[in-house]
């Protein structure tokens, strides 16, 4: 005889079920869409977009069954899985931009994981490989391209009408929301303007011809990011995470968002993955190991770069020249050049 349970009790139990490979539960990850009592006294659990992969789905199902039917005595448990919504991307009528071959987003679930550092170094690395490259810094919360590229007081030049020229530094054409927003404007005001602003940056900037436009997106997975991801006609996304589980759980959400809008994941960059001892050269994994790998496995993608903590990487960002251009011989520069090659190789033929 099934035990009579309330919806809250069932939900609380699901809140104890971790996503396979994570220390975060399926409720916090936003995977549980609906918990409904079934006619026979059991429960129907609807999961939203938990994974494309059979073995993960089976594992999640097994864990839920264990928790509800076995531990809690909830009677029959039935699952429904609502897959990704395939129309979402097509509906919005994304358009390609004249003269721009590939648009690649650099995104993260959490702030402060090194997204802008990766975007800036990826952009200069692509330029060093001979690609004509632009960087669109669309991070309304912390635009950092002007500082990282040392643009000082320089602003995009008007070309008459509403068009303007990007600022060019270290062979990268730059447009940053930082060129346009008032530093003192409260962040809450920036949200509504960002959508319009990004659209405008894309359409009204005279980029010339570009092989790559790298977009530094704001962190997180809210509506603003989702809209941007749709608006920006992306060819692929690079997800940046640190190795800790909390960061990885947020990154997983970000990865899912891109899949939802049909933007292919190029792969995961695990940043600040340990510290290389300057004396012995050994890697010390101070933040734990393998977070990027877990994320990649859960999303069916790969870790395409791992960048340890290098003091010079931070210093270069503060001094106005990304390390990959300031010190090409530095080991971090080699990591970003390799990343740029992976990104270029992942692009569809055009």
Stretch that binds Mg ion, among 94-102, 143-151, 258-266, 335-343 (CB under 5 A): 143-151
| Phi/psi at 58 (5° precision) | -65, -40
Q: Among 51, 121, 133, 144, which residue interacts with ligand ATP (rule: CB under 6 A)?
A: 144
Q: Among 310, 325, 335, 343, which residue interacts with ligand ATP (rule: CB under 6 A)?
A: 310
Distance separating alpha carbons of residues 244 and 329, to the nearest angstrom: 29
**Binding residue count for ligand ATP, defined by CB under 6 A:** 20
In the complex, the smallest distance separating the C-beta of residue 172 from Mg ion, rounded to whole angstroms, is 16
Task: Label residue 230 exposed, middle or buried (CB < 10 Å: 0-12, 13-18, 19+).
Answer: buried
Tokens of 155: 């602003």
Nearer to ligand ATP, 134 or 219 (CB): 219
Distance separating alpha carbons of residues 61 and 284, to the nearest angstrom: 36
Q: Among 139, 245, 270, 299, which residue interacts with ligand ATP (rule: CB under 6 A)?
A: 139
Question: Using CB under 6 A as the criterion, what x/- string covers residues 53-72 for binding ligand ATP?
Answer: --------------------
Residue written as token pair 């996503």? 19
Helices 245-260 and 291-298: crossing angle in degrees, nearest 10, is 30
Q: Among 51, 67, 116, 133, which residue interacts with Mg ion (rule: CB under 5 A)?
A: 116
Please count the residues of the chain: 350
Q: Residue 49: helix, strand or coil by DSSP?
A: coil
Nearer to ligand ATP, 156 or 317 (CB): 317
- Do 148 and 320 touch, CB atoms closer than 8 A? yes
31 binds ligand ATP (CB under 6 A): no
Question: Using CB under 6 A as the criterion, what x/- string covers residues 85-124 for binding ligand ATP?
Answer: -----------------------x--xxxxxxx-------
307 phi-psi bin (left φ>0, alpha ψ -120 to 50, beta other): beta
271 binds ligand ATP (CB under 6 A): yes
Nearer to ligand ATP, 287 or 310 (CB): 310
Nearer to ligand ATP, 32 or 119 (CB): 119
301 phi-psi bin (left φ>0, alpha ψ -120 to 50, beta other): beta
Residue nearest to ligand ATP (CB): 111
Distance separating alpha carbons of residues 83 and 53, to the nearest angstrom: 11
Distance separating alpha carbons of residues 26 and 163, to the nearest angstrom: 46
Question: Using CB under 6 A as the criterion, what x/- string covers residues 213-232 for binding ligand ATP?
Answer: ------x-------------
Closest by Cα among 230, 244, 90, 308 to 252: 244
Q: Give, in degrees to the nearest 5, the angle at Cα 138 between 165 and 323.
A: 80
Query: Residue 310 touches which of Mg ion, ligand ATP, none (CB < 5 to 8 A by kind)?
Result: ligand ATP
Stretch that binds ligand ATP, among 137-145, 163-171, 254-262, 279-287 (CB under 6 A): 137-145
The dihedral built from the CA positions of residue 261, 195, 222 and 148, taken in this order, carries a sign that is positive
Distance separating alpha carbons of residues 214 and 28, to the nearest angstrom: 31
Query: Residue 111 touches which of ligand ATP, Mg ion, none (CB < 5 to 8 A by kind)?
Result: ligand ATP
142 binds ligand ATP (CB under 6 A): yes
In the complex, the smallest distance separating the C-beta of residue 17 from ligand ATP, rounded to whole angstroms, is 30
In the complex, the smallest distance separating the C-beta of residue 164 from Mg ion, rounded to whole angstroms, is 23
Query: Residue 314 touches which of Mg ion, ligand ATP, none (CB < 5 to 8 A by kind)?
Result: ligand ATP
Distance separating alpha carbons of residues 102 and 144, to the nearest angstrom: 22
Enter the DSSP assignment of 287.
T
The footprint of ligand ATP (CB under 6 A) covers 108, 111-117, 139, 142, 144, 219, 271-272, 307, 309-310, 313-314, 317
The footprint of Mg ion (CB under 5 A) covers 115-116, 139, 142, 144
């Amino acid at each position: 005889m099934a035990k009579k349970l309330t919806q809250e009790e069932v939900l609380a139990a699901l809140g104890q079920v971790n996503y396979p490979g994570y220390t975060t539960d399926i409720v916090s990850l936003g995977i549980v869409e609906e918990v409904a009592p079934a006619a026979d006294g059991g429960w129907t659990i609807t999961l939203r977009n938990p994974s494309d992969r059979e073995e993960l789905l089976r594992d999640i199902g097994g864990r839920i069954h264990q928790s509800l039917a076995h531990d809690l005595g909830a009677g029959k448990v039935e699952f429904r899985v609502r897959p990704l919504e395939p129309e979402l991307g097509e509906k919005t009528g994304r358009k390609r931009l004249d003269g721009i071959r590939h648009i690649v987003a650099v995104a993260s679930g959490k702030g402060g994981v090194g997204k802008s550092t990766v975007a800036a170094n990826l952009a200069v690395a692509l330029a060093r490989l001979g690609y004509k490259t632009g960087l669109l810094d669309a991070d309304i919360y912390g635009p950092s391209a002007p500082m990282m590229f040392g643009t000082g007081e320089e602003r995009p030049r008007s070309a008459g009408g509403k068009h303007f020229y990007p600022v060019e530094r270290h062979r990268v054409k730059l447009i940053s929301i930082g060129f346009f927003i008032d530093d003192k404007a409260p962040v809450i005001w920036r949200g509504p303007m960002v959508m319009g602003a990004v659209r405008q940056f894309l359409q009204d900037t005279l980029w010339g011809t570009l092989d790559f436009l790298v977009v530094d997106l704001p962190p997180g997975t809210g509506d603003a990011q989702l809209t941007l991801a749709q608006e920006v006609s992306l060819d692929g996304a690079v997800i940046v995470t640190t190795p800790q589980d909390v960061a990885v759980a947020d990154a997983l959400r970000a990865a899912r968002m891109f899949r939802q809008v049909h933007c292919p994941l190029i792969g995961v960059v695990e940043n600040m993955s340990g510290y290389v001892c300057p004396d012995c050269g050994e890697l010390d994994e101070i933040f734990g190991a393998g977070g990027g790998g877990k994320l990649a496995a859960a999303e069916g993608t790969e870790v395409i770069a791992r960048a340890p903590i290098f003091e010079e990487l931070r210093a270069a960002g503060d001094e106005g020249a990304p390390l990959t251009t300031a010190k090409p011989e530095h080991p971090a520069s080699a990591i970003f050049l390799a990343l740029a090659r992976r990104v270029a190789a992942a692009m569809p033929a055009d």
